[in-house]
């Protein structure tokens, strides 16, 4: 293959993993529960085999053509960084630190000293609830809101009239530089918002400041071989721009699909890696089941546009990085299997790849498809894709 496109439907898990009890996620099934409640019409993904994947709750298309299956997460955790890193061949030996009781003084104290102002919050909360709780106090005091979640994140929310987005990014960079060693969280996230008490709204100027990958990834390998490694959406944040030759930090599913189509209409050799964050950020975390269903339908409706850009030397893989079940108690990610769909123009039938033991099987498959040697201690399923 000349080009491989990997599209991540952020948070679109397909059923709880065997170890989900350790994460409090037994019973979670993002796509299955959305399908059960809202019955989304997804003809193009079903035509790739989506309805044949256990946990989707969708009817199988008897005429489907594509490779289909699901994958387990081998790394401990259920966050964005862990999922994407493993997908690109980097499996974590231990989880990132989490802070369900808030950050200790040896984290908050040095941060406040470095930015020259105190903070408020320092609790675990959802992103919308924290604004209702502390947004007005932030406006009155000018102090940044610091909070976390079940994931390994240090989040800072500031009103754009108090801290400009660039100023917020600056203090996030300070936090990122300080959060090392035992406190090396997966991501520091800038959460700018606008509005007045009772109607605060998070803006699209969110930025993620991830920990730099702790080992080599498929992206590094692609670049080292002189191939193109193109990123769309928050991929550049997740990998700290490492192993990326070009990035479009588009915000929102529609803009990211526009960016992907634009890149696919250009000549390149290598990988196009796309994250579609709205499923997770706007729907899963907000318990918006109907919104999740609509987002799936919107992506499915544009899938032919993506496919039309591809020729016989293109491979498309659609997957997810974790679950974020909008029907499940709470607003956090859920520890789930992720779907895998693979397609190219020459496919005429469906081929199952079963349940893969690691997200890294995707890295192994892309590596083989591009003629590279590394298999990341995983199992490629490229033989079932190639004709």
Read off φ and ψ for residue 292, nearest 5 degrees.
Answer: -65, -45
Q: Nearest to residue 16, comparing CAs of 337, 313, 308?
A: 337
For the stretch 330-345, pLDDT in tens is 889 999 999 999 999 9
DSSP secondary structure letters along 46-62 = HTTTGGGSTTS-----T
For the stretch 61-96, pLDDT in tens is 999 999 999 999 999 999 999 999 999 999 999 999
Contact 347, 35 (CB under 8 A): no
Q: Is the pLDDT of residue 373 over 90?
A: yes
Q: Is the pLDDT of residue 387 over 70?
A: no
The structure's pTM equals 0.91
DSSP secondary structure letters along 328-358 = SSSSS-B-B-EEEEEE-TT--SEEEEEEES-
Determine the straight-line distance between the first and last CA of the chain, rounded to whole angstroms.
11
Residues 206 and 172: their CA atoms lie apart, in Å, by: 11
The pLDDT score that the predictor gives to residue 386 is: 79
CA 103 to chain centre: 24
Q: Is the pLDDT of residue 7 over 70?
A: yes
Residues 22 and 24: their CA atoms lie apart, in Å, by: 6
For the stretch 209-266, pLDDT in tens is 989 999 999 999 999 999 999 999 999 999 999 999 999 999 999 999 999 999 999 9
Q: Is the pLDDT of residue 128 over 90?
A: no
Q: Which domains does the chain have, with CATH numbers?
A: 3-93+212-384 (3.40.720.10), 105-210 (3.30.70.1250)
**Residue 61 φ/ψ region, left for φ over 0, alpha for ψ in the -120 to 50 degree band, beta for the rest:** beta
pLDDT band at 151; cut points 50, 70, 90: confident
From the number of C-beta atoms within 10 Å of its C-beta (0-12, 13-18, 19+), residue 26 rates as middle
Q: Is residue 163 helix, strand or coil?
A: coil
Residues 279 and 286: their CA atoms lie apart, in Å, by: 10
């Amino acid at each position: 293959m000349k080009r491989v496109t990997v599209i991540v439907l952020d948070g679109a898990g397909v059923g709880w993993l065997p170890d989900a009890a350790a994460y409090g996620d037994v019973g979670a099934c993002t796509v299955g529960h959305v399908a059960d409640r809202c019955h989304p019409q997804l003809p193009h993904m079903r035509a790739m085999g989506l309805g044949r994947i256990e946990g989707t709750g969708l009817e199988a298309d008897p005429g489907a053509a594509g490779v289909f299956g699901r994958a387990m997460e081998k790394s401990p955790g259920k966050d964005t960084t862990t999922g994407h890193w493993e997908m690109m061949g980097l499996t974590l030996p231990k989880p990132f630190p989490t802070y369900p009781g808030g950050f200790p003084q040896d984290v908050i104290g040095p941060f406040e000293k470095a930015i020259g102002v105190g903070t408020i919050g320092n609790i675990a909360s959802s992103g919308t609830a924290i604004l209702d709780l502390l947004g007005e106090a932030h406006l009155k005091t000018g102090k940044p809101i610091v909070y976390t979640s079940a994931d390994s994140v240090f989040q800072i929310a500031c009103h754009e009239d108090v801290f400009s987005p660039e100023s917020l990014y600056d203090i996030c960079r300070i936090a990122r530089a300080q959060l090392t060693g035992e406190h090396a969280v997966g991501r520091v996230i800038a959460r700018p918002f606008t509005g007045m008490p009772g109607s605060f709204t998070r803006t699209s100027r969110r930025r993620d400041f991830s920990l730099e990958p702790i080992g080599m990834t498929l992206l590094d390998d692609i670049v080292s071989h002189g191939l193109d490694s193109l990123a769309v959406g928050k991929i550049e944040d997740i990998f700290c721009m490492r192993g990326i030759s070009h990035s479009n930090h588009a915000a929102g599913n529609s803009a990211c699909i526009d960016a992907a189509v634009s890149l696919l209409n250009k000549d390149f050799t290598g990988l196009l890696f796309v994250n579609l964050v709205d499923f997770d950020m706007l729907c899963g975390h907000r318990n918006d089941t109907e919104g999740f269903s609509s987002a799936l339908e919107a992506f499915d409706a544009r899938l032919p546009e993506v496919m039309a850009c591809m020729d016989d030397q293109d491979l498309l893989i659609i997957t997810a990085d974790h679950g974020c079940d909008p029907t499940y108690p709470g607003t956090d990610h859920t520890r789930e299997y992720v779907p895998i769909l693979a397609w190219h123009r020459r496919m005429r039938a469906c081929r199952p790849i079963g349940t893969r033991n690691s997200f890294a099987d995707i890295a192994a498959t892309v590596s083989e498809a591009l003629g590279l040697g590394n298999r990341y201690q995983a199992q490629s399923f490229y033989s079932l894709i190639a004709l």
